[in-house]
Structure 1
Amino acid sequence: MFRLPPLSAALVVLLTMAGGASAAPAAVTTPPAAPLFHGHWCGAGDENRAAPVDALDAACRAHDLCYEQRGRGACTCDKAFLKATGRLITNPKTDETLRSKAATANSLFSATPCVETGRKGARAARR
C-alpha cells in the first residue's frame, strides 16, 4: 500500500513547528505515523480503502492505485495527480480549504522527482 511520504514528512514538520520552540532538547523518539492529510486517501494511513470524500480525495486515491500498478514515483501517476490537483486549484467553485490542501499536495509533488520507466529501465525525471 502506497503512502505519500513527502506529504507525510511535511505534515510532521508542520505539526512539530506548530507545537512551539522548546528550550530543552526533545527526547529522541520515533514519531508516530502522520495522520491522513485529507479524506481517506491523502497521506499516510489509507488502509481502510474507504470511498473518497471529495475530488481531492479521489485524486489521491487514483494516485495511490496508479503507484500500486506502475510503481512508486511513476511519472505517469504524478503527472495525472498534478493535473487533477491543478484543476481543483483553478476551479472557482472549489472551497478555499480544499483549494489550499490541493495546492499543498501539488507543490510537494511538483518538487519531487518522478521515475520514468521504459525499455532502458527506471530513471529519475523532471515533470
Structure 2
Amino acid sequence: MLCRTVIPLLLAIGIVTPALAEPGAIVEPKMLIHGNYCGPGNNAPLPPIDPLDAACARHDACTPNGGIPSRACNVRLQREADAVSRDPKQPSDVRAMAGFVAAGAAMLQIADEPGRNLTMMRPGVRP
C-alpha cells in the first residue's frame, strides 16, 4: 500500500522539479543539423566550420535571444545558404545541406515589428 502512494509522489516530484529550477539553470536542447550554428541552439563561441555554418552564425547573431527573427534576417539566411548550395567549390554534402537550409529559411516564422503577429515567410517574397 505504501508503494502505491510513494511511487506516484516521487514521480510527481521528479516531473515538477525542473519547472521549479531557476530560469538560468534550465539549458535549452541543441538540435544542430550542421556545424556549430545551423539549427536551434548553437555552440558559441566556437567558430563556424564552413560558409554554410557562417551564414547560420550570422542568422543567430541577428535573432534576439529566445526571440523570433525578422523577415530580413531569414531572407539573408535563405540567400546565403542558396549561394552555398550552388557553389561548386563546396563539397556535395555541404551543398545539399545548404539547399535544405535555404528551403527551411523560407518557412521560418518571422516577427517584423515588436507586438506584431507572427507570420510565415512565403517563398519568393522580398522584405
Please indicate the TM-score interval, normalised by the length of the shorter structure: 0.5 to 0.7
Cα deviation for residue 113 of structure 1 reads: 4.0
Name the TM-score, length of structure 1 as normaliser.
0.61
Aligned equivalents of 1:45, 1:82: Cα separation in 2: 18
Cα deviation for residue 96 of structure 1 reads: 0.6
Letter of the 2:99 counterpart: A
The answer to whether the aligner puts 1:110 opposite 2:118 as a matched pair is no
The structure 2 residue matched to 1:96, chosen from 92, 99, 110, is 92
How high is the sequence identity, in percent, across the aligned residues? Answer: 25
Alignment-derived partner of residue 73 in structure 2: 77
Cα deviation for residue 34 of structure 1 reads: 5.6
SS at match of 1:53: coil
Give 4+ residue runs of structure 1 displaced > 4 Å after superposition: none
Aligned equivalents of 2:89, 2:49: Cα separation in 1: 16
Q: Is the 8 A contact 1:38 1:57 kept in 2?
A: yes
Alignment-derived partner of residue 82 in structure 2: 86
Q: Is the 8 A contact 2:74 2:108 kept in 1?
A: no
Larger Rg computed on CA atoms: 2
CA RMSD of aligned residues (A): 2.5
Alignment-derived partner of residue 46 in structure 2: 50
**Unaligned 5+ runs, structure 2:** 1-28
SS at match of 2:34: coil
Name the TM-score, length of structure 2 as normaliser.
0.61
Letter of the 2:54 counterpart: A
Aligned equivalents of 1:53, 1:47: Cα separation in 2: 11
Aligned equivalents of 2:43, 2:85: Cα separation in 1: 27
Q: How many residues align?
A: 93
Cα deviation for residue 90 of structure 1 reads: 1.5
Superposed CA deviations along residues 65-122 of structure 1, whole A, max 9, x for unmatched, are 10028x523111101101110111111222110011111111112123422228xx53
Cα deviation for residue 61 of structure 1 reads: 0.5
